[in-house]
Chains A and B, each alone.
Chain A
Amino acid sequence: MSALIEVKGLDKAFGGVHAIEGLSFSVDAGQVYSVIGPNGAGKTTLFNLITGLYTPTKGEIKLGDRDVTGIPPNKLAELGMCRTFQQMQICMNMTALENVMLGRHLQLKSNLFTTLFRLPALLKDEEDCRDHAVELMKFVGCGDYIDSEASAMSYGALKRLEIARALAAKPKVVLLDEPAAGLNAVESAELEELLQKIAAQGITVVLVEHDMKMVMGISDRVLVINYGRKLAEGTPEEIRNNPDVIAAYLGG
């Protein structure tokens, strides 16, 4: 198996504070890879670095065999990387369906001319896009909200909507930042099932999550970070028995 994401010697400093320090790891294609760590360990910073929202102070990030360090997020989307956010980023001025259709932005071939005069090519493209988005909304379990405004949806449904939008871009890898945060037990179980379905389609899933039951249940590999550094990496079984990890979590 080849590495899809490879991070080498990654460093990010905010002023004098090192949020991420000398971090290296790699994610193989097709894996479910989880990043865990105590609050403030640098998990979201790590995601923002990988997805181009932050520029690393030092280090290198590779997607496939391409160096993508410091590339802006919209270019990374073109290369097949998509993500969701811990603080959800949904366009509340649009309908639920339009949010998912937005995810297909890069697949659409319209230009200003076909748009302004609403030529048949555009309409055909839009219809396909709509059908695909409806399918994805059903896939993530938002089928009841197809005609809703995004602002009328519940928190749990919006979380799934954001996943649908990420999938709409037909990514090779999705990075999900705490998808289970704020969900109840039933919703969490549904989410776990959804993540397994996504992985089964061959899409690599990178996860930041606090729900240990979920992480241990679905991950192929787990990375533990603390104070921006790698504390441990391995299979869920190895992580569960690692004395350093237990110490970091229990404050021993």
Chain B
Amino acid sequence: MLKSLLHNRLSGLLLLAIVIFVLPVFFNNPFHYDMATQIAIYATTVVGLNLLVGFAGQISLGHAGFFGVGAYFSAIMTGVYGWPPVITLLLGAVLVGFLAFVVGRPILRLKGYYLSMATLALGFIIAIIINNEGWLTGGPDGMPVPSLSVFGWELSTFSSYSFLGMTISGSLAWYWLAGVLLLLGVWLAQNLIDSPIGRALRSVHGSEVAASVVGVDTARFKNLVFVISAVYASLMGSLYAHFQGFITPDIAGFMESIILVTMVVLGGMGSTIGVILGAVLLTLLPQLLADFHEYEMMMFGLILMLTMIFMPKGLLPTTQRFIRSRLSKKKGEQA
């Protein structure tokens, strides 16, 4: 039973839905909901990044840049020009998708170190622009973001709403929104992977030569997944901006990109549920280590190193393999 659950393609999604649904039982203050919302936003971002890194085997060390463009596009257009948030969020995703498409064509020809360097540079450029164009972005001091209004509802963590006779706090409303979007993001990502397009993407990882001789246009598929993962990042960036109500250029910076990649590697490259676990652990870690704030980046580095050495496949795939081997051993003993 446990074994069949491990194999079923929707079991991960179901498990995740149960967790999201049950978790509020253990929450007793708004801070818990806010933490969970933030985790869900980052988790959805790395579910998208994992399509690129874990499945198609391409690296992006500048992904926070796309997150940042989404966030700042929403902040500027809704805050300064008064555009409606949901439409801005979607237009931001289109813009970032186009940006990724244009940049992706030349840089995805590169492999290994060279691709790392190119994406790293892309992230730096975006962060520098956000930092320097202070008249538009507020520069290093950051800028405020209006709250998200959905169909006339102002979604703010500070207010509360009555819904079907119940009183719902703003934090709880955000939690459900982020949770549902995470589920949607996982569902779409799993559909993509478990399809001919997903097979083509994974074959680019497995053997690019093999992919090309059976007719896979490898350049096109690499660019496609780069765009999709950038769109995930942009949408979540916009959402994050509205959720926090205030953003600084740090969210688009190099450290942020490294954290995103660390989430993917720690959780398990190519495991959609695994990378969510990575996002959970690495978002909670700074909270647990609040007293050692200066050493935060060191801890991330250490985690990345230890993961690469002791479980290069990542946390979840390693655990799954362990459970499976124990199960088959048990079966062997019974027989």
Instruction: Identify the A interface with B (CB < 8 A).
Output: 51, 53, 72-74, 76-78, 82-83, 85, 89-94, 98, 101-106, 108, 110, 112, 115-118, 122, 125-126, 129, 165-166, 168-169
Besides A115-B191, A129-B196, 7 other A-B contacts (C-beta < 8 A): A73-B212, A78-B215, A85-B210, A89-B210, A93-B205, A105-B214, A110-B195
A residues in contact with B126, CB < 8 Å: none
CB <8 Å contact, B214 and A103: yes
CB <8 Å contact, A91 and B210: yes
The distance in angstroms between the C-alpha atoms of A74 and B218, with both chains bound, is 8
Among all A-B residue pairs, the 7 with the closest Cβ atoms:
A91-B206, A77-B215, A89-B210, A106-B215, A73-B212, A108-B196, A89-B207
Nearest Cβ on chain A to B107's Cβ, whole angstroms: 19
The distance in angstroms between the C-alpha atoms of A137 and B224, with both chains bound, is 30
User: Does B213 belong to the interface (CB within 8 Å)?
Assistant: yes
CB <8 Å contact, A72 and B212: yes
CB <8 Å contact, B191 and A74: no
B205 is contacted by which of A76, A85, A91, A165 (Cβ under 8 Å)? A91
B residues in contact with A122, CB < 8 Å: 195-196
A residues in contact with B214, CB < 8 Å: 74, 77, 82, 102-103, 105-106, 165-166, 168-169
User: Does B217 belong to the interface (CB within 8 Å)?
Assistant: yes
Nearest Cβ on chain A to B188's Cβ, whole angstroms: 5
- 18 A–B contact pairs at CB < 8 A? A51-B213, A74-B213, A77-B212, A77-B215, A89-B213, A90-B210, A91-B207, A91-B210, A93-B206, A94-B202, A94-B206, A101-B196, A102-B210, A108-B196, A110-B196, A116-B191, A116-B192, A122-B196
A residues in contact with B217, CB < 8 Å: 74
CB <8 Å contact, B199 and A94: yes
A102 is contacted by which of B203, B209, B224 (Cβ under 8 Å)? B203
Instruction: Identify the B interface with A (CB < 8 A).
Output: 188, 191-192, 195-200, 202-203, 205-207, 209-218, 224, 270
A residues in contact with B203, CB < 8 Å: 91, 94, 102
Nearest Cβ on chain B to A82's Cβ, whole angstroms: 6
Given A105-B196, A106-B214, A108-B196; A90-B207 close (CB under 8 Å)? yes
The distance in angstroms between the C-alpha atoms of A165 and B215, with both chains bound, is 11
Given A91-B203, A93-B202; A126-B195 close (CB under 8 Å)? yes
A83 is contacted by which of B196, B213, B218, B270 (Cβ under 8 Å)? B213
Nearest Cβ on chain B to A183's Cβ, whole angstroms: 20
B196 is contacted by which of A76, A126, A166 (Cβ under 8 Å)? A126
B residues in contact with A76, CB < 8 Å: 213
The distance in angstroms between the C-alpha atoms of A116 and B200, with both chains bound, is 15
The distance in angstroms between the C-alpha atoms of A51 and B197, with both chains bound, is 23
CB <8 Å contact, A74 and B195: no
The distance in angstroms between the C-alpha atoms of A103 and B205, with both chains bound, is 16
B216 is contacted by which of A74, A85, A90, A112 (Cβ under 8 Å)? A74
B residues in contact with A110, CB < 8 Å: 195-197
User: In chain A, what residue has the closest Cβ to B198?
Assistant: A115
Could you say which of B196, B197, B211, B224 has the most chain A C-beta atoms within 10 Å of its C-beta?
A: B196
CB <8 Å contact, B206 and A105: no
User: In chain A, what residue has the closest Cβ to B206?
Assistant: A91
CB <8 Å contact, B216 and A118: no
User: In chain A, what residue has the closest Cβ to B218?
Assistant: A74
